[in-house]
Structure 1
Amino acid sequence: MNQSEKILEIKDLCVEFKTVEGTVKAINHLNYTLHKGEKLGIVGESGSGKSVSSLGIMQLIPNPPGEIVGGEILYKGQDLVKKSEKDMQKIRGNEISMIFQEPMTSLNPIIKCGRQIAESLRLHRGMNKKEAMEEAIRMMQAVGIANPEVRAHEYPHQMSGGMRQRVMIAMALACQPQILIADEPTTALDVTIQAQILDLIRGLNEQMNTSVLFITHDLGVVSELCDTVIVMYTGRIVEKAPVRELFSDPKHPYTVGLMSAIPRITKDRPPLETIEGVVPNPTERISGCSFWPRCPHATEQCKQGEPPVVQLSEERQVRCWLYADAAEKKEG
């Protein structure tokens, strides 16, 4: 992994949705960097802004009701927010690809699977029909689909969930993208298929040096696949760390809560812990830190002021008053 080469930079990104109940701040001043060849995990509960941030990169946020209201998404130094739809069509599926959460709604039900993969090759690579279909069959074989020559002529409903997900991955990787965004790609799959899909993504990252942005609520999957982890809550990053450091020493109370909720396979299993309360209503405006209503360490300071981002080391940061106060004392 070439840490010096930045391929994607999210700078101060803000995304809002207009609803009948009011404005929802889905992404609130988001900042992070993805390096060439890096596997970056984004975790958090439903409603934390994980998927919206990925749709923002692809410029697929439905407008209305959604809109990018501030910030930049720099891909190789170019701001995708300012790109026209025509320019984005050249980038999507070619340089930046996405595996969506539910393949049954992402694949066209009336077009055969092989043809759906071949279409992107014809569009972006200028292949003719025959070349594109041959390459589509080769890609289906590469992602572990048995009898790809036969399967290429089947419709999505004729395949199992795991096979459909592999077709989605073959489609996403057909043009050898620079960045692969995987949004909960293993959620509906059993653990055996899940492990195979993760191996597939890991192998492609190693062979093609593809940068991977892996979005999930499953910390177990993150520990298996990722180099770096970002933990999100209510549209903000609350903690960022290398994967081993995050698992051995989580800092933010929310991260600690997520870790405690992971089931452990041991002889004397402790009861599962939960994080008190629920993710706040998106239209609800909470003063101070948005996590304080659920935090066991909340103080008056947490209720009054938004905590700053504290840089604990070159690769670690946390947004919490516990560490801001400790850092001030250390400097003082």
Structure 2
Amino acid sequence: MSQSEPILEIKDLCVEFQTVEGTVHAVDHLNYTLHKGEKLGIVGESGSGKSVSSLGMMQLIPNPPGRITGGEILYHGKDLVKASEKEMQKIRGNEISMIFQEPMTSLNPIIKCGKQIAESLRLHRGMKKKEAMEEAVQMMHAVGIANPEVRAHEYPHQMSGGMRQRVMIAMALACQPQILIADEPTTALDVTIQAQILDLIRELNESMGTSVVFITHDLGVVSELCDTVIVMYTGHIVEQAPVKELFENPKHPYTRGLLNAIPRITKERNPLETIEGMVPNPNERIEGCSFSPRCPYATDQCRKAEPPMTELPDGRLVRCWQYAKENEEA
């Protein structure tokens, strides 16, 4: 994919949460760029900072206990960290939309689905009530909801999980956003509906040129949908690469561990590989590389100093002392 102009630049973003046990550094000096029309996947275990980084982008970090403590979120060059709530209300759901993980908690249970989509159109595009409802029905049809004229007048509890997720997608795309953030949008769905939702996001990306940030722990989904992959661990990016290169030749030990843990269909019954140990306690600040307690290749240097992000000759990024040393020797 040829790189177009950046639409979003995350620079040195830090997000902290104050808890009774201490400070949690949920996102720690995060840097990445999203280009127009790009499909970017962000993967990692629970607690790696994937969702928090996207909530920060939307200025939806609950404060207290959380807050952005540093960095910039540049959307077309404008720093959203410094944007007022009034400015963010114009951007949220209009220019940057988000599909949340669990539609039942994201949709209002006492408002009909069509009306919830129409409200966004009335707010951001100034449509009249009747016109907005007609457009909402069209959007429900576009996302594959059968009998949208009838379904528009149903409440969320009257729909299946897959249908509710489609309503969320219709709402997120109603104003034709420039960026769509999809936070684990297929987790609670069966594989057939999951495939339909992925096809839908892909089609909308191609037809509208919408840039997509796809947050998931499922590497299989990433391989199907994304152009570029970011792997996160304890609030850091540990590897960033084009999807094909990452799957064919993962560089970071954590990425290799994630890929080796994917079940494979073979005649032999091979036990699943696992990554030894546990994700560190969020309140714990590990000296050196945060993955070193679980890494089979960790050295004394890994345990003493945090590795820098190293750019390899092919342009991919890895945060590991092995590659930092190779770069210095080259």
* Shorter-chain TM-score range: over 0.9
Identity percentage over the alignment?
A: 84
Deviations 1:63-98 (A, max 9, x none): 000000000000000000000001100000000000
What's the CA shift for 1:314?
5.2
Is the Cα–Cα contact under 8 Å of residues 2 and 37 in structure 1 kept in the other structure? no
Tell me, in whole angstroms, the C-alpha distance in 2 between the residues paired with 1:7 and 1:79: 12
SS of 2:134's partner is helix
Structure 1 letter corresponding to 2:104: M
Tell me, in whole angstroms, the C-alpha distance in 2 between the residues paired with 1:195 and 1:268: 28
- Written as runs of structure 1 = structure 2, the 5 A alignment for 1:167-316 is 167-313=167-313, 315-316=315-316
Aligned-pair Cα RMSD in Å: 0.8
Structure 1 letter corresponding to 2:234: T
- Written as runs of structure 1 = structure 2, the 5 A alignment for 1:1-332 is 3-313=3-313, 315-330=315-330
SS of 2:325's partner is helix
Please identify, of 321-330 and 100-109, the stretch whose mean Cα deviation from structure 2 is larger. 321-330
SS of 2:130's partner is helix
TM-score w.r.t. the length of structure 2 is: 0.99
Decide whether aligned partners of structure 1 residues 94 and 226 sit closer, same or farther in structure 2, where only a CA change above 3 A counts.
Answer: same
Structure 1 letter corresponding to 2:36: K
SS of 1:3's partner is coil
Aligned length: 330
Structure 2 letter corresponding to 1:69: T
Structure 2 letter corresponding to 1:142: A
Tell me, in whole angstroms, the C-alpha distance in 1 between the residues paired with 2:88 and 2:2: 26
Deviations 1:33-83 (A, max 9, x none): 000000000000000000000000000000000000000000000000000
Tell me, in whole angstroms, the C-alpha distance in 2 between the residues paired with 1:173 and 1:269: 44
What's the CA shift for 1:285?
1.2
What's the CA shift for 1:137?
0.3
Please identify, of 198-207 and 268-277, the stretch whose mean Cα deviation from structure 2 is larger. 268-277
SS of 2:3's partner is strand
SS of 1:4's partner is coil
TM-score w.r.t. the length of structure 1 is: 0.98
Is the Cα–Cα contact under 8 Å of residues 2 and 35 in structure 1 kept in the other structure? no
Deviations 1:149-178 (A, max 9, x none): 000000000000000000000000000000
SS of 2:303's partner is helix
SS of 1:232's partner is strand
What's the CA shift for 1:325?
1.2
Tell me, in whole angstroms, the C-alpha distance in 2 between the residues paired with 1:145 and 1:33: 34
Deviations 1:224-275 (A, max 9, x none): 0000000000000000000000000000000000000001122224211010
Runs of 4+ that moved beyond 6 A: none
